[in-house]
Amino acid sequence: MSINSLDKKSEKNSATTLYEKLWQQHIVEDKAGETPLLYVDRHLIHEVTSPQAFANLKFHNRPVRHPERTIATMDHNISTRSIKIDAAGEGAANQLRTLEKNCKEFGIELFGMGHKNQGIVHVIGPELGLTLPGTIIVCGDSHTATHGAFGALAFGIGTSEVEHVFATQTLRQTKAKTMRIEVNGTVGSGISAKDIILAIIGKTGSAGATGYVVEYCGSAIEALTMEERMTVCNMSIEFGAKAGLIAPDKTTFDYLAGKEYSPKGDVWRQAIADWKQFKTDDGAEFDTTLVLKAEDIKMQITWGTTPGQVTSVDGVVPSPDDFTDQVEKDSCSAALTYMGLTAGTKMTDISINKVFIGSCTNSRIEDLRAAAGVVAKYQAQGRSVSSKVDAIVVPGSYRVKKQAEAEGLDKIFSAAGFEWRLPGCSMCLGMNDDVLEAGDRCASTSNRNFEGRQGRGSRTHLVSPELAAASAITGHFVDLNS
């Protein structure tokens, strides 16, 4: 039997969680007095968190142990207006060229500017079939949790760990606690995967899952498409989770079939048989469980400076008095000051002047279709982007861009006054020139509303692609269901 976890399970004859099975499948060594050593199947790298790791390898004269298990892309720093490496400034160009040199020297495949597979690291992994169930995937980026949507144990790492994976193809990890998040029922009309995950974070708070690996389950999760599952798992880090997982099923296998890097032939057939075992057994115990009713989830908007500071579109900006915990009171008060908001203001009365549709959370084809669908409805009424709003749409990868253009989505956006850009991380973190000015208020489909995240003094409200698209046209948040 090729699945280590099954051997262990039959020995113990006890129900185990998906996380436990992934853990057992990857233990290289678990020795008393040492942190367990786990095997890493896939290492994704980009220009920002890899140069110092490569430099240390060179200093010690160490090779990359498995260059074929490592894939590089350019995403964080790049311009979304030009595929020229120099287009995003000297510092970015230096980092991008350093990545090119390092990949060449160490024999790593790189999807550089202009390559048909280039894009945001967490968009291209899945769409190319590099992300597989039952594997461990790491990347020097905290949104690596995205790949957990396939039943892979996927998590972000620091640069020292990037170096460790380069040199050894392993990582030392302490075991996390397990949290089960069950979303049962059917979500209402217009409720997206982004609303589901923001509603979850609203319940747990921004650190509610620190020390945990989360497994999402329940009928509302099972009903999600792969891209929607990725949106949910992507934001696991935003409530502190080490990783987010969804058990692989037919939806997963159908998505992966025939992808460029997916296994083929007999290996594919064996893979499917093995992957079906990667699910939590009935009766397996979790350290903690949270249950939500899908019907209760409304369209979400963040009002503060952490993703947990979130409410529904028909809600109001809260007051520090609404919280009992002193830390939460203080955080609310500081957030209202930074965000320039007054307690009691209806969310739909908040005006915005910038819109960003993109990021590893919401830049896939289904996100762009959903946003374009909203835009098309307004266009039918003769409406376009508000004269007070600048709005950009940044597809997650070249493949997404090509598909969107084949479907004419770019024309819908452009005709309505959105700028249609080239793929990259863009305004999610603003390492390139896609930054907000102080005081700008942005409806953003990204994942972080931290102070200054999109530009010093900028104010970010995290929303779904549908709500971002509607806000661009009306100039304020709108309850699409009212």
Partner 1 sequence: MEKFTTHTGLVVPLDAANVDTDQIIPKQFLQKTERIGFGQHLFHDWRYLDVSGKESNPEFILNKPQYQGASILLTRENFGCGSSREHAPWALEEYGFKVIISPSFADIFYGNCINIGLLPIILTANEIDTLFVKSANENIEITVDLANNKISCAEMSFDFSLDIFHQYCLEQGIDSVGWTLKKLDTIKAFEEKMPAWQ
The answer to the question of residue 142 lying near partner 1 (CB under 8 A) is: yes
Binding-site residue total for partner 1 (CB under 8 A)?
74
Q: Of 339-378, which residues contact partner 1 (CB under 8 A)?
A: none
The answer to the question of residue 172 lying near partner 1 (CB under 8 A) is: yes
| Chain centre distance of CA 120 | 10
Structure tokens at 267: 């290996």
CB of 471 to partner 1, least distance (A): 23
Burial class (CB in 10 A: 0-12, 13-18, 19+), 458: buried
| Per-residue x/- track, 174-193, partner 1 (CB under 8 A) | x-x-----------------
Structure tokens at 392: 């950009």
CB of 393 to partner 1, least distance (A): 21
Burial class (CB in 10 A: 0-12, 13-18, 19+), 27: middle
Residue with tokens 């007054």: 342
Q: Using CB under 8 A, which of the segments 29-37, 344-352, 404-412, 460-468 binds partner 1?
A: 29-37
The answer to the question of residue 394 lying near partner 1 (CB under 8 A) is: no
Selected binder of partner 1 within 107, 114, 211, 340 (CB under 8 A): 211
The answer to the question of residue 450 lying near partner 1 (CB under 8 A) is: yes
Closest to partner 1 by CB, 119 or 133: 133
Question: DSSP E strands: which ranges in 218-299?
Answer: 243-245, 288-293
Selected binder of partner 1 within 163, 195, 366, 410 (CB under 8 A): 163
The answer to the question of residue 24 lying near partner 1 (CB under 8 A) is: no
CB of 388 to partner 1, least distance (A): 25
The answer to the question of residue 298 lying near partner 1 (CB under 8 A) is: no
Question: DSSP E strands: which ranges in 234-285?
Answer: 243-245
Identify the CA nearest to 457 among candidates 336, 309, 354, 338: 338
CB of 400 to partner 1, least distance (A): 23
Q: Is 218 helix (H, G, I), strand (E, B) or coil?
A: coil
Instruction: Kindly write down the DSSP assignment for every residue of 392-440, as one continuous string.
Output: EE--SBHHHHHHHHHTTHHHHHHHHT-EE--SSSGGGTTSSS--PPTT-
Question: DSSP E strands: which ranges in 4-61?
Answer: 27-29, 37-39, 42-45
Give the DSSP letter of residue 119.
B
The answer to the question of residue 159 lying near partner 1 (CB under 8 A) is: yes
The answer to the question of residue 475 lying near partner 1 (CB under 8 A) is: no
Residue with tokens 């990545």: 99
CB of 351 to partner 1, least distance (A): 24
Closest to partner 1 by CB, 277 or 471: 277
Closest to partner 1 by CB, 207 or 406: 207
Q: Of 70-89, which residues contact partner 1 (CB under 8 A)?
A: 77
Distances (CA, A) of 61 to 51, 99, 167, 170: 15, 18, 10, 18
The amino acid sitting at 211 is G
The answer to the question of residue 453 lying near partner 1 (CB under 8 A) is: yes
Q: Using CB under 8 A, which of the segments 117-125, 348-356, 395-403, 424-432 binds partner 1?
A: 424-432
- CB of 26 closer than 8 Å to CB of 153: yes
Q: Using CB under 8 A, which of the segments 165-173, 280-288, 293-301, 383-391 binds partner 1?
A: 165-173
Q: Using CB under 8 A, which of the segments 52-60, 216-224, 225-233, 349-357 binds partner 1?
A: 52-60
The answer to the question of residue 337 lying near partner 1 (CB under 8 A) is: no
Closest to partner 1 by CB, 407 or 433: 433
Task: Give dist(CA 177, CA 328) in Å, integer.
Answer: 25
Task: Give dist(CA 428, CA 459) in Å, integer.
Answer: 12
Task: Give dist(CA 33, CA 380) in Å, integer.
Answer: 67
The answer to the question of residue 28 lying near partner 1 (CB under 8 A) is: yes
Residue with tokens 């350093």: 98
The answer to the question of residue 481 lying near partner 1 (CB under 8 A) is: no
Selected binder of partner 1 within 17, 80, 170, 300 (CB under 8 A): 170
CB of 185 to partner 1, least distance (A): 31
Task: Give dist(CA 320, CA 110) in Å, integer.
Answer: 48
Q: Using CB under 8 A, which of the segments 236-244, 365-373, 379-387, 461-469 binds partner 1?
A: 236-244
Closest to partner 1 by CB, 341 or 416: 341
Task: Give dist(CA 135, CA 264) in Å, integer.
Answer: 17
The answer to the question of residue 240 lying near partner 1 (CB under 8 A) is: yes
- CB of 363 closer than 8 Å to CB of 395: yes
The answer to the question of residue 145 lying near partner 1 (CB under 8 A) is: no
